[in-house]
């Protein structure tokens, strides 16, 4: 009853192609009534999807196991320092996303990052001649996500652990709550491995899509210094050794606190050292700074991202099955990165709105 057959292919939605029927002022199809939608994951994809659906009249609730919205658009802070330790910046090649970024800038939660970008090939440092405009959240990378979440019903520290489809719709169980919660539709905006775990038994076609995405970990080290450091660049793409990126957090607008640099290790090194302690990771990566023109830091903190990137990312936009009332979105479905996350979330919202969600499960 209502479960997707194993050989059925889930609908895949192009980033810009969803058939519209009766439209609201924002271009979304108006539902016959406010159906209930659960969005699992409050990263940018989930937030963008929820914002679009809520504006179209749906009753949307977001759930995220983290203690803050934004996914990998994260920052952390100590007593005297702060640092973006996930996504470092974003670009806006899509005109629609560029308009969103302009709105963020107008709201004071984003700004261009006028950084001196360079690259290291293992022998020398070369300044980038790329005129690409990069943006960051202000006063930290999580600011745009917080701004979006402020007008949405977001439940943090709430981990979805099971989904079940019945005649009354979807029941969602949470690790922190013995009760189940009912929704007309469930949209997954989580990393691919988490999506597989949730839908493997109830929607094999969706699990098959998620299994095509290969997501990789990353160690992040936040290196703190007593005073300003200027090696001649603000951010460096590292193309040799265990590091892939270093950046001066204070070079971003509206940052404050002790001089802190962010180091990201390569996916390969992070995978190999996934079981290492933070202290051992810091001891291994700190000496790499000398070749990059940076001194040894006075202190460091480290964090392990279990899923940090997807390579290669899928290019299918989103997945949606109107009969099941089940969908998936995420940066890993739309080329990766912040812009891809937003595009994927909006694409799924348009697919849901175009089809309308089932009111009583599937027959």
Strands 36-40 and 11-13: unpaired
CB 332 within 8 A of CB 36: no
**pLDDT tens by residue, 70-119:** 999 999 988 889 999 999 999 999 999 999 999 999 999 999 999 999 99
Read off the DSSP letter of residue 282: H
Burial code (b: 16+ CB inside 10 Å, e: under 16) for 61-72 equals bbbbbeebbbbb
Q: What per-residue confidence (pLDDT) applies to 357?
A: 52
Kindly report each contact of residues 290-296 with a partner whose C-beta sits within 8 Å and lies 24 or more positions away, as own/partner.
Answer: 291/120, 291/241, 292/120, 292/125, 292/231, 292/236, 292/238, 292/243, 292/246, 293/125, 293/231, 293/232, 294/223, 294/229, 294/231, 294/246, 294/261, 295/225, 295/229
Give the three-state DSSP class for 251: helix
Q: Where are the domains of the chain?
A: 11-70+146-213+312-355, 89-140+215-310
CATH number of 89-140+215-310: 3.90.660.10
- Spatial separation of the C-alpha atoms in residues 232 and 340, rounded to whole Å: 31
The fold for domain 11-70+146-213+312-355 equals FAD/NAD(P)-binding domain (3.50.50)
Q: What per-residue confidence (pLDDT) applies to 307?
A: 94
**pLDDT tens by residue, 105-160:** 999 999 999 999 999 999 999 999 888 999 999 999 999 999 999 999 999 999 99
Q: What is the mean pLDDT of the chain?
A: 90
Give the three-state DSSP class for 284: helix
Give the three-state DSSP class for 347: helix
Task: State residue 81 phi and psi, 5-degree precision.
Answer: -145, 160
Assigned token pair, 128: 């980038």
Q: What per-residue confidence (pLDDT) applies to 113?
A: 98
Whether cis (ω within 30° of 0) applies to the bond prior to 139 is yes
Task: State residue 93 phi and psi, 5-degree precision.
Answer: -85, -35
Taking phi over 0 as left and psi of -120 to 50 as alpha, with beta for the rest, 159 belongs to beta
**pLDDT tens by residue, 216-256:** 999 999 999 999 999 999 999 999 999 999 999 999 999 99
Q: What per-residue confidence (pLDDT) applies to 360?
A: 32
Q: How confident is the model at residue 2 (pLDDT cuts 50, 70, 90)?
A: very low
pTM beyond 0.75, yes or no: yes
**pLDDT tens by residue, 254-313:** 999 999 999 999 999 999 999 999 999 999 999 999 999 999 999 999 999 999 998 888
């Amino acid at each position: 009853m209502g479960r997707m057959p194993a050989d059925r292919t889930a609908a895949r939605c192009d980033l810009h192609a969803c058939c519209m029927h009766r439209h609201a002022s924002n271009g979304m199809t108006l539902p016959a009534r406010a159906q209930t939608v659960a969005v699992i994951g409050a990263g940018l994809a989930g937030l963008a999807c929820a914002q679009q659906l809520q504006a179209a009249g749906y009753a949307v609730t977001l759930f995220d196991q983290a203690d803050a919205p934004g996914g990998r658009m994260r920052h952390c802070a100590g007593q005297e320092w702060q640092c973006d330790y996930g996504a470092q910046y974003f670009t806006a090649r899509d005109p629609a996303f560029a308009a969103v970024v302009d709105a963020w800038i107008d709201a004071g939660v984003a700004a261009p990052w006028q950084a001196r970008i360079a690259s290291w090939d293992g022998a020398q440092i070369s300044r980038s001649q790329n005129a690409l405009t990069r943006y960051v959240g202000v006063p930290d990378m999580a600011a745009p996500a917080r701004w979006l979440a402020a007008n949405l019903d977001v439940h943090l520290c709430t981990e979805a652990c099971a989904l079940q489809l019945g005649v009354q719709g979807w029941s969602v169980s949470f690790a922190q709550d013995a009760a189940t919660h009912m929704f007309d539709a469930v949209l997954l905006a989580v990393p691919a491995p988490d999506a597989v775990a949730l839908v493997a038994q109830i929607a094999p076609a969706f699990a098959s899509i998620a299994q095509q995405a290969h997501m990789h970990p990353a160690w992040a080290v936040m290196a703190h210094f007593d005073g300003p450091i200027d090696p001649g660049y603000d951010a460096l793409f590292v193309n040799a050794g265990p590091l892939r990126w270093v950046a001066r957090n204070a070079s971003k607008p509206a940052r404050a606190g002790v001089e802190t640099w962010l180091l990201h290790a390569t996916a390969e090194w992070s995978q190999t050292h996934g079981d290492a302690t933070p202290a051992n990771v810091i001891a291994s990566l700190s000496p790499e700074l000398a070749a990059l023109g940076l001194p040894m830091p006075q202190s460091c903190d480290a964090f392990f991202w279990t899923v940090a990137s997807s390579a290669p990312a899928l290019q299918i936009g989103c997945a949606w099955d109107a009969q099941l009332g089940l969908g998936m979105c995420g940066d890993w479905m739309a080329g990766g990165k912040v812009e891809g996350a937003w595009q994927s979330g909006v694409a799924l919202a348009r697919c849901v709105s175009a089809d309308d969600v089932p009111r009583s499960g599937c027959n």
